[in-house]
Chains A and B, each alone.
Chain A
Amino acid sequence: MLTIEAGHRFIDGANIFRIDASFSAPDTGVTAIFGRSGAGKTTLLKIIAGLLRPDFVKIKVGNTVLCDTQNDAWVPPEQRRIGYVFQDTRLFPHLSVKGNLMFGRRFNPPPHSPELSFDAIVSLLGLERLLDRGIHNLSGGEGQRIAIGRALLANPRLLLMDEPLAALDPDRKSEILPYLEGLRHSLDLPIIYVSHNLSEIRRLANWLAVLDEGQIKAFGSVEEITGQMDPSSLAGDGDTGTVLAATVTEHMNTHGLTKLSAAGQPLLVTQLDLPPGAHVRVELRPQDVSLALQRPENISVLNIIQGSINAIRASPKRPVVDIQVNIGSSKRPVHLWARVTRFAAERLSLKTGMPVFALIKAVSLDKDRVGLS
């Protein structure tokens, strides 16, 4: 297990900011930390890396206690072997790409696993052609890949990534995301990934911790948390929504569609290049989900999923209402969120407990919204 507990009080004039965050995540996989700017995400990462010494902190990676201030245990940051990918890359300007990548090698024990060898990391991140170049005139995506490689080649036991894509434009983002997905699948290394973009989290993270005002508000699997928390609290710099776990059941080649099974119900999406049986994740934007009280007929919408209203989140200030629908059973609930206008919700007199049909257009579920889990 990866255990993080941190508490600290910052006093800046009259303002007091308090970090009081703890969570435990499995040893492998990616834990995303989601939070608005100012929620304390970077501060938490700095505490984990040891760059900040807080009032109280306990960090355990696997069986190794890296610090436990209550028992006077403190491993200095340079001995923690916690890799840190900064948002602003922080590449060393006086070294070549290769020099940057090799920087951590001399300070750390060589890696045990061949996946962390120089050649393996270079090819994983597609850096072969950049090695002899200086770090000037690199694109943002290249710089970020080098920064990731540099952190990995220092043989870390835990990797921290602080919004590595936030400073990149959409094209660069989609250039680098496949590398990050590759990283997640081929490395046996716990990763803490800070982001406030739900699409990134859906594509990269297994676990999701929601940080707000220095506190962890929720922790669980990405599907669980996005189903539980209302979408407006997960609105970051991209779309908000629910992440559903699904399995590929069959391809409908003549129609260019793929049939999935989510919570035991069929779900049609635009055709995927994945074999039947593959586990996928579907990102459902609440505005792509409509609700009906009866099963509509003669309608173009292909996905009509039966469920019942579990919760309604309305606020007099907003013209829209977020409605949580349970499409699983009462014993094993699976939640998704639908966003309708307040006017529509009033017209249908939507109430908690009501049976409803969730309508989802298959065209809204394209390759950008569906991917391997």
Chain B
Amino acid sequence: MFGFSSLELEALQISLKVSLWSVSLTLPLAMGVAWLLARKKFRGKAVLNAVIHLPLVVPPVVIGYLLLILLGRKGILGSFLNDWFDIGLVFTWQGAAIAASVVAFPLFVRPIRQALEGVDPRLEEAAITLGADRRQAFLAVTLPIVMPGVLTGALLFFARTLGEFGATITFAANIPGETQTLPLALYAATQAPGGDSIALRLVFLSLVLAMGALLASEWLSRKTHFKVHGS
């Protein structure tokens, strides 16, 4: 197809798999954290906020290495997972998804949090006087209003996980057919003699994917924003 080799298409497929799984598994967590930060007052809120934003300022390699320490076969949590559930995350695409998710997490939380902060909590109060309980009030009022923020967050997050390199190569390594995403394949191609044409095709794939995600994000958020805010 378009002269792409099976290795390149495999990298594309792994990238999509890693990113899509990341989005769907991180979504509830991002919602929960955004809600805590936007609506609740608690001790250690500033610390939680800082920890979440850490990946924005720390080199991804550092995140990858921390993940190795935490989730590696001999890691604090990793050895427990390995011994009790026979789950190994290092060198697997699931590991790549975790690494990418941690790095991109702040991009997911921020837009949702901002959207939640923009919703008047008294609207839920109004919903309650109309017969909705707290859960129904959130689902029927707050959630639809913050939907543009959720979509923006999801797509920013998706695009960021597509491009993740440092944490992924450190924690999940660069294994063709398992953890070799587009950027990792591109890196490999630039290291191999005569890999220029492969590299160019991978660059093209990456750009198309990222542009597609950003345009979709823009379009979706404008559409939902119009519905919610009317302008």
Contacts and interface: CB of A to CB of B under 8 A. Distances in A.
Given A93-B229, A94-B228, A84 B133 contact: no
The 8 closest A-B pairs by CB, nearest first: A107-B131, A136-B230, A104-B130, A84-B129, A90-B126, A94-B144, A154-B130, A108-B131
A67 interface: no
A134 B126 contact: no
Contacts of B130: 83, 103-104, 107-108, 150-151, 154
Interface in B117-155: 120, 122-123, 125-133, 136, 140-141, 144-145
Interface string B203-231: 00000000000000000000000011111
A90 B123 contact: yes
Contacts of B133: 76, 78
B145 A104 contact: no
A136 B229 contact: yes
Interface of B: 120, 122-123, 125-133, 136, 140-141, 144-145, 227-231
A258 to B, nearest CB: 42
Contact of A134 (B127, B131, B144, B230): B230
Interface string A42-75: 0000000101000000000000000000000000
A79 B131 contact: yes
A266 interface: no
Contacts of B131: 78-79, 81, 104, 107-108, 154
Interface in A74-101: 76-79, 81-84, 86, 88, 90, 92-94
A294 interface: no
Contacts of B227: 94
A82 B129 contact: yes
Given A77-B129, A79-B131, A107-B132, A92 B230 contact: no
A137 interface: yes
Contacts of B122: 86, 88, 90
Given A93-B228, A93-B229, A78 B120 contact: no
Interface size class of A (residues with CB under 8 A): 20 to 34
Contacts of B145: 92-94
10 contacts: A77-B128, A90-B122, A90-B125, A90-B126, A92-B127, A92-B141, A93-B230, A104-B130, A137-B230, A151-B129
A52 to B, nearest CB: 10
Interface string A289-331: 0000000000000000000000000000000000000000000
A51 B128 contact: yes
Interface string A246-275: 000000000000000000000000000000
A151 B130 CA distance: 7
Contact of A90 (B120, B140, B229, B231): B120
Contacts of B229: 93, 136
A154 to B, nearest CB: 5
A88 B123 CA distance: 10
Nearest to A135: B230
A203 to B, nearest CB: 25
Contacts of A83: 129-130
Given A90-B123, A93-B145, A107-B136, A136 B231 contact: yes
A191 B141 CA distance: 26
Contacts of B144: 94
A83 B127 CA distance: 10
A304 B131 CA distance: 55
Given A51-B125, A51-B129, A154-B130, 9 more contacts: A82-B129, A90-B123, A92-B126, A93-B145, A93-B229, A107-B131, A107-B136, A136-B231, A154-B131
A91 to B, nearest CB: 8
Q: Which interface residue of B120, B126, B140, B144 has the most chain A CB atoms within 10 A?
A: B126
Contacts of B128: 51, 77-78
A246 B133 CA distance: 47
A59 to B, nearest CB: 14
Contacts of B123: 90, 92
B126 A86 contact: yes
Interface string A120-141: 0000000000000011110000
Nearest to B134: A78
Contacts of B230: 93, 134-137
A32 to B, nearest CB: 20
Q: Which interface residue of B122, B129, B132, B136 has the most chain A CB atoms within 10 A?
A: B129
B192 to A, nearest CB: 52
B215 to A, nearest CB: 24
Contact of B129 (A49, A134, A135, A137): A49
Nearest to A89: B126
B206 to A, nearest CB: 36
A49 B131 CA distance: 11
Contacts of B132: 78, 103, 107
Nearest to B148: A94
Nearest to A96: B227
